[in-house]
Amino acid sequence: MVIEGAAADPKIAGNSEFPVNKGALCIKGWTAAGTLNHPERLRSPLMRDADGRLAPVSWDAAMTRIVSEFKRTQEDYGADAVGVFGGGSLTNEKSYLLGKFARVALGTANIDYNGRFCMSSAAAASIKAFGIDRGLPFPVEDIAGSEAILLVGSNASETMPPIMQYFDTQRANGGRLIVADPRLTTTAQRADLHLRLTPGTDAALANGIMHILVRDGLIDTDYIEAHTEGFASVRATVSTYWPERVERITGVSEANLIQAARMLGEARTAIVLTARGAEQQAQGVNNTLSFINIALALGLVGKPNSGYGCLTGQGNGQGGREHGQKADQLPGYRKIDDPAAREHVASVWGIDPDTLPAPGKSAYELLDSLGQEGGVRSLLVLGSNVVVSAPNAVHVERRLRSLDFLVVSDFFLSETAELADVVLPSAQWAEEDGTMTNLEGRVIMRKWAFEPPDGIRDDMQVICELAERLGKGEHFSYGSTEEVFKELGRASAGGPADYSGISYAKIEANDGVFWPCPDEGHAGTPRMFTQGFATANGKAQFHAVRHQQPADPPNSKFPLYLTTGRLMAQYQSGTQTRRVAELVEMSPEATVEVHPTTARLYGLLNGGRSRISTRRGDAEFKVSVTANIREDTLFVPFHWGGIRAANRLTNATLDPTSRMPKFKVCGAMIEAMG
């Protein structure tokens, strides 16, 4: 993306020379300048007054109040009573600083971020299988050169439109695309084979495909023997997933299961890709592992135009999870409970490793603890709108209201900021320098174009000033964003996500640098696993997985499956996109997709109003009748707040490993409204 023109009237253009999107942008990219001078943009700190209203105050007054409240909270309840909640849109530098701020300036264990709601299951599965997590461990251009692709739980043509050029090239070259999704999405419509599975049956689908691959001798036994461990237990497990049984569980016909297996097994090159549909479940890690098993059994991982990958959606979804925003992590993707990791990072930060806190609460567990005995009493939120984006949102809103003190940094008065005691106006993407890490693990530059408007500060300034006022300023003294990045590199050195050989100059000279990049002479690592895996013995690990019934299945009261997702014209909680006129015109309100048969059964009219209820609560949506969804399934987007918030309905049951909430599957009922 290139920004042109003056700050008063900026314009967006694509950069055809950039090797990833080649100048292609989605509609949200083309219209991104619409938020920079938006009349609703926050331009002064706000503080709640004696009448309960948010009123403008000076920066000094806002910062003084924040520090005073944080100190009082920690004096009364202990260090961990102050929490920090970050975002996957923060630059690498800000993600790093936020993690350091929590551990050094506040001394709290309780920091996590909204990426826990997005990529955490795929990340945990990749670490289990390969010893390391990078969304795509190969360049995105490999997609175009693959003979067969299995895409699970992604509507990329709406959620990541620029990547579709690679899928289109793949098919133009004679490659075949298989899409597994309960909906006949615009992406599934472009596929050679659509597997319309019952929501929540992803692991059964994968095991059914694996059963056929084993049965028909389509696996790569030489690769399995040389490069993996644990296949025998997987073979035994999938032996019970014969096609007839899998058809009953998933709703995918035996013929389609066989066709999918043969498309993958007979191809010379193939890629298995998972996304939120399979991952945002209480068994998201196991779902992902079951598809990784397929990639390993076919001998795909580490080879050109082949492998397993996770499609990462947020702006800095990859980098945001690498450098300390997660409750259990230190920079470089190190574990915070690893003594060697603590020693290394503490030496970079100039502190005693014994002062680093232990692992804290994961994202939803942190939010669930708000205002509770032994929980978080004061909270700092940067770049996240949890009232809309968190599961079981009505409960989360109640917990936020119970806090002693809430401070939110954002561009607009989001639904979460409306509840805050102090709101800080933040600089936007065009008004600050920094780096991002894309889904391939390519570290790229995001360059400053304009000064932020008067009264607005960037989050880096805010973090460093808060640290200074908390008495830790000597650890947060930086002359530039580049200085922060250099320190990030030192802190990540030797870790799984090693940035120590990456510099701003190298990024600019090469259109980005792939991590790991362990020294200045290293060119980066576009393709991983060519020489083995980051496991103790260098071999990838199979994991035997059995399908489990959802924790919140349909029943007589809630007879339908509810699943959630994104739309092309909106993004995440909609804090920005719901304020851009062109995007509002395309998607003005939240709708529920309903099959015509289901609509007749429940008396629903296309364009009419409906109420959906689950075990958590209810929400209201305009009805969109379409044959592109299963008869037993409802689909709603999650970009709206209030009574139209999809996450008023979703289930907060957590994956036992990733702590990912169960956004994608729950029992629901629907009724027509007046």
Phi, psi torsion values for 26, nearest 5 degrees: -85, 175
Return the amino acid letter for 605: L
320 contacts 118 by C-beta, under 8 angstroms = no
At residue 486 the predicted structure's pLDDT band, cuts being 50, 70 and 90, is: very high
Provide CB contacts within 8 A for 161, sequence distance 6+.
24, 26, 27, 568
CA torsion 80-85-90-93 (nearest 10°) is 0
- Give the three-state DSSP class for 105: helix
Domain residues of the chain, as ranges? 42-117+316-514, 120-310, 560-673
The CATH number that domain 560-673 falls under is 2.40.40.20
What region, left, alpha or beta, does residue 659 occupy, with left being phi > 0 and alpha being psi -120 to 50 degrees? left
Q: Classify domain 42-117+316-514 by CATH architecture.
A: 3-Layer(aba) Sandwich (3.40)
At residue 618 the predicted structure's pLDDT band, cuts being 50, 70 and 90, is: very high
Please give the average per-residue pLDDT across 506-527, as a whole number.
96
Output the pTM of the full model. 0.96
Secondary structure of 231-259 in the HEC alphabet?
HHHHHHHHCCCCHHHHHHHHCCCHHHHHH
pLDDT given at position 6? 67
Digit-coded pLDDT (tens) for 330-386: 999 999 999 999 999 999 999 999 999 999 999 999 999 999 999 999 999 998 999
Please give the average per-residue pLDDT across 41-59, as a whole number.
96
pLDDT given at position 490? 98
The secondary structure of residue 54, as a DSSP letter, is: E
The rounded distance, in Å, linking the Cα atoms of 346 and 100 is 10
Percent of the chain with pLDDT over 90: 88
List of E strands, 131-216: 148-152, 176-180, 193-195
Side-chain half-sphere of 459: how many Cα atoms within 13 Å? 30
Average pLDDT, the chain: 95
Digit-coded pLDDT (tens) for 212-236: 999 999 999 999 999 999 999 999 9
Phi, psi torsion values for 355, nearest 5 degrees: -85, -10
- Place domain 120-310 in its CATH homologous superfamily: Dimethylsulfoxide Reductase, domain 2 (3.40.228.10)
Beta bridge partners of 610: 621, 672
* Selection from 616, 376, 619, 344 nearest residue 500 by Cα: 344
DSSP of 320-372: GGTSS-STTEETTTEETT-HHHHHHHHHHHTS-GGGS------HHHHHHTTTS
Digit-coded pLDDT (tens) for 105-137: 999 999 999 999 988 999 999 999 999 999 999
pLDDT given at position 1? 64
Digit-coded pLDDT (tens) for 535-557: 999 999 999 999 998 889 999 99
370 contacts 124 by C-beta, under 8 angstroms = no
Digit-coded pLDDT (tens) for 381-391: 998 999 999 99
Digit-coded pLDDT (tens) for 429-456: 889 999 999 999 999 999 988 899 999 9
